[in-house]
Structure 1
Amino acid sequence: MNYSQPTTHHLPIKFGVIGCGRIAHRFMQGLPEVPGASLAASWSRRAETVNAFAGQYGGIACSSLDELLASDIDAVYLATLPDSHAEYCIRALHAGKHVLCEKPATINLPQLDKVLAVVKETGLLFMEGMKPPFYPLYVKLKKHLKSDPIGDVGYVRAGSSVADISNDHPNFSYELAGGSLMGIGIYEAFLAIDWLGSTQAVQAMGHFGPTGIDTFAIFQTKHSGGYAQVYTGFDLHGKGDALISGTLGHITIHKNWWNPGRATIDYLDGRSVEINEPFIAGGLNYETIHFCDLIRNCATESPIIPHEMSRQMIAMIDEARKQVGLKFIGE
């Protein structure tokens, strides 16, 4: 499967950004590197943030979501916290807009299935913004392994625990569906499924912080192709790499593996191959290029992050949360 579907033209695509926090600024850092794409409008639940956002990047500062969805845009980039993803995705799709939604796509699998039902109804594009597979390093690594494989992959180990996040960060908010499993664990779910296939079993443990979300969790999973062990957290320092083990060698994607720029492949025969492929403009530009190409090709889902992969990723997090004991409002 190719990691891009290039088109022969750059049909202009105008974005509306929903949510104007940290990740939206990173999206805008990369948007100038996306051929034919531009910002047309933005909206946030906080008026002061959208006004500052539009003042910095241009476009219309909308006073309501309805105003943004009625504006002259082709697609939305949804950069809010998970609590609002399902509602905003559905409203955007009903308004005739393609949707690139930040991870995790929704709070849980039932919500995602409601979104995907609307995708099927409208025939529009919906893609979860799972960035790692679009980075040049990840693409080059996959290409290298086609001609110089590490054999059958049977084990993945990865994780990240970021202890320097400020206490007022939205990831600490129970009401906004925060927590380390939702904010970080979804990346590890992607990595395990991408290399090992569908999930067959999950075992999870974790502990909670004062705001009611998980501040550290570990889980191990069984897949059709092997096993994974991962960790996520906000109260320990463990910015990490990723290990991918096969029968003929293993891969280390060096920290921070979710923004990959360097990998080492160690083979059973003693060879070691270094792959260095730096990224530019914050890194979200690569998934956005892919998303825009999908729009131009009239696709409704990505072949790299297909809807079924999004379903499997959030289902894994659902089960891990269930075992840890984290249940959100309305579940």
Structure 2
Amino acid sequence: MIRWGVIGCGRIAHRFMQGLKEVPGTEFTGAWSRRQETVDTFIEQYGGIGFESVEELLNNDIDAVYVATLPDSHHLYCILALIAGKHVLCEKPAALNLLTLESVLEVAKEKNLLFMEGMKPPFFPLYKKLKEYLETDPIGEVGYVRAGSSVADISPDHPNFSYDLAGGAVMGIGIYEAYLAVEWLGNTKQVQAMGRFGENKIDMFTIFQTEHEKGYGQFYCGFDLHGKGDALICGTLGNITIHKNWWNPAKATINYLDGRVMELDVPFTAGGLNYETAHFCELIKAGLTESPVITHEMSRQMIAMLDSARGIIGLKFKGE
């Protein structure tokens, strides 16, 4: 039985709990958050212990911690959990920037513990089915990826709008596009970006294009325009459309150069975070300290891409 503690009790923590219920061999011990009222609501809904401090939670008999706070504090709580001897699954982006991510990875290595960034798309049944299908009927060498999302109906009180909590379109949405780019095109060689800011000092809409080892990417992310939310992956023998919302993938269409069309429709359950959580638990059972799917190097590449984009548009957070 893998016993879990949760740090942060916001929206994503509730989705994590929805998924955890579907992962066999797991147990929820309790949670802590910076706001006591959110802890009380969380425990009332899911049971467990409402801890009065993060230290109290980490001193408890738990095996793993899900860090569900905002990006400004990810590295802080990850390091505290690792020092306390707990495996860590951290919500994306795994750290504020590459420098803070490296500090987390250093502690994870010293403690010989599992650390993984919670990047969910590759664990969804549709995505896994797509990868399996392409092994026998490929689209050739991939050289271009286009993706993005702009969500214009987010509540004004959403933490993505908070500069102090490291919000903004690049941090909140762009990390998904960074994953898709690195996954299909390899390491980043250069980044170009433009961004538009709101009164809240964070980027409300940003576009960035990238050059990689294998090709090029074009991406957008935003909070005040209604974007489509699909993804396009182009190879020499065909292309793939992962239909909206591509980061919660359920449908994909493969169009081949010879005219053939393949439709994939694989629904997901329990909100989708159950798949990455199950993967993480299997890694613990196997005694591994790094995911072969979301590797530490992939996390480095993703956050470095965001660092570059933010540097170009002029978005720096406190302490940077």
TM (norm. structure 2) is 0.99
Confirm or deny: 8 A CA contact 1:18 1:80 kept in the other structure: yes
Q: 2:38 aligns with which of 38, 49, 57?
A: 49
Q: Secondary structure at the match of 2:171?
A: helix
Q: 2:27 aligns with which of 7, 29, 38?
A: 38
Q: Deviations over 1:267-314 (max 9, x none)?
A: 000000000100000000000000000001111110000000000000
CA RMSD of aligned residues (A): 0.5
Aligned to 2:317: 328
Amino acid at match of 1:71: N
Post-superposition shift, 1:206? 0.5
Aligned to 1:203: 192
CA distance in 2, matches of 1:158, 1:193: 13
Amino acid at match of 2:89: L
Confirm or deny: 8 A CA contact 1:41 1:73 kept in the other structure: no
Q: 1:189 aligns with which of 178, 186, 193?
A: 178
CA distance in 2, matches of 1:301, 1:175: 30
The answer for unaligned runs of 5 or more in structure 1 is 1-11
Aligned to 1:279: 268
- For residues 132-151 of structure 1, what are the structure 2 equivalents within 5 Å? 132-151=121-140
Post-superposition shift, 1:166? 1.2
Aligned to 1:5: none
Post-superposition shift, 1:239? 3.5
Confirm or deny: 8 A CA contact 1:20 1:44 kept in the other structure: yes
The answer for unaligned runs of 5 or more in structure 2 is none
CA distance in 2, matches of 1:327, 1:83: 12
Amino acid at match of 1:164: D
Amino acid at match of 1:204: A
Q: Secondary structure at the match of 1:190?
A: helix
| Aligned residue pairs, count | 320
CA distance in 2, matches of 1:72, 1:120: 22
Q: Deviations over 1:196-227 (max 9, x none)?
A: 00000100001101110000000000000000
Aligned to 2:213: 224
CA distance in 2, matches of 1:317, 1:323: 10
**Moved segments of 4+, more than 3 Å:** none
Q: 1:173 aligns with which of 142, 162, 169?
A: 162
Q: Secondary structure at the match of 2:138?
A: coil
CA distance in 2, matches of 1:240, 1:22: 20
* 2:305 aligned with 1:316: yes
CA distance in 2, matches of 1:239, 1:298: 41
Q: Deviations over 1:149-184 (max 9, x none)?
A: 000000000000000011111000000000000000
Aligned to 2:224: 235
CA distance in 2, matches of 1:131, 1:141: 15
Aligned to 2:202: 213
Amino acid at match of 1:117: E
Q: Secondary structure at the match of 2:21?
A: helix
Q: Deviations over 1:43-96 (max 9, x none)?
A: 010001101101110110001000100111100000000011011000000000
CA distance in 1, matches of 2:214, 2:277: 30
Q: Deviations over 1:228-272 (max 9, x none)?
A: 000000010103100000000000000000000000000000000
* 2:79 aligned with 1:90: yes
Aligned to 1:69: 58
Q: Secondary structure at the match of 1:33?
A: coil
Q: Secondary structure at the match of 1:163?
A: coil
Confirm or deny: 8 A CA contact 1:157 1:243 kept in the other structure: yes
